[in-house]
Each structure stands twice: as structure tokens, then as C-alpha cells.
Amino acid sequence: MEYAGQEKRRHPRINARFIVSYRILDKEDKVDITQTKNLSLGGMLITTNRKFEPGTNLLMEIRLPFDPQPTVIYGRVVESREIAKNLIYDTHICFGHMEGRKTKVVIDTVDYYIHKKGKDSL
């Protein structure tokens, strides 16, 4: 179900699936793998197998189509909401400071999917 209210985000967001590996920054070496549900220059929504407290810092590697190398991004959990009891959580992440290649790859990906969606609806 898509949100029908007033859009308050600063950056356009795409509903797209990309592979993401993530771990808690500076606390554990355990890496989990998931996929995005949506992505923007400001953050993303991923599905996780556990609840994260707001403010948890994550180190993530995301595979995007315009770069053969994974893009390493730091982010902070904004919200982690249970979807399936003790099994699946929608985790909203706000990206930390990005610059250069990382920013360009995310912008190129979002722009491509926005324009592709527009062409697909013609």
C-alpha cells in the first residue's frame, strides 16, 4: 500500500530492490544481508530480521546498478517497525554524510528509476 498523504521528504524516493549488507557500527562484526524496499539520496527502507533502536548507527554496503563496486554508506536508524511477529521488521535509515562517487551513484540510480517509471506508464 502506497502512502497517499502529503509528501514531506526532501529527496525523491524509488521503490526498488537492491542487495544490502549491514552491521552495527563499532559494536559487532556480524553482517546480515537484506534488500531495500525503497531508496533516496537521504535514506532507505530495508527489511531486517531484528528490531533496531532509533539512533543505532549502521555500516552498509549496497549494490547499485551504476557501479560495479558496492557503495559503502553510513546510516542511522530512524525507526524499526515489526511487520511479522519476532521475524521481520521494516527499518527506516537516514544516510550520514555522503560525497563524490557515493552521491553520484545514488542520484544516478534514483533518476534512472524515476525516468524509467515515467516511460513505462506511457
State which residues form the domain around 27. 19-120
Residue 42 belongs to some domain of the structure: yes
SS3 100: helix
**CA quadruple 81, 63, 33, 53: dihedral sign:** negative
Q: What pLDDT is attached to residue 105?
A: 92
64 burial via Cβ count (<10 Å: 0-12, 13-18, 19+): buried
Is residue 3's pLDDT more than 70?
no
pLDDT bracket for residue 117 (50, 70, 90): low
The three cell numbers locating residue 52:
533496531
Residue 7 forms part of a structural domain: no
* Mean pLDDT, range 44-67, rounded to an integer: 94
User: What is the number of domains present in the chain?
Assistant: 1
Q: Is 76:98 a contact under the CB 8 Å cutoff?
A: no
Residue 10 lies in a domain: no
The whole-chain average pLDDT of the chain stands at 87
Which tens digits make up the pLDDT trace of 93-109? 999 888 888 899 999 99
pLDDT of 37 above 60: yes
DSSP letters for 40-76: -SSEEEEEESS---TT-EEEEEE--TT-SSPEEEEEE
Question: For position 1, what pLDDT does the model report?
Answer: 41
Q: How far is the C-alpha of 33 from the C-alpha of 68, rounded, in Å? A: 18
Q: State which H helix or E strand residue 106 sits in.
A: helix 100-120
Question: What CATH code is carried by the domain that includes residue 89?
Answer: 2.40.10.220
pTM: 0.83
Q: Is 12 a member of any domain?
A: no
Distance between CA atoms of residues 87 and 48, nearest Å: 8
Q: Is 2 a residue whose pLDDT tops 60? A: no
Residue 122 pLDDT greater than 60, yes or no = no
Asked whether residue 121 carries a pLDDT value surpassing 80, the answer given is no
Residue-level pLDDT at 11 = 78
Residue 21 has pLDDT above 50, yes or no: yes
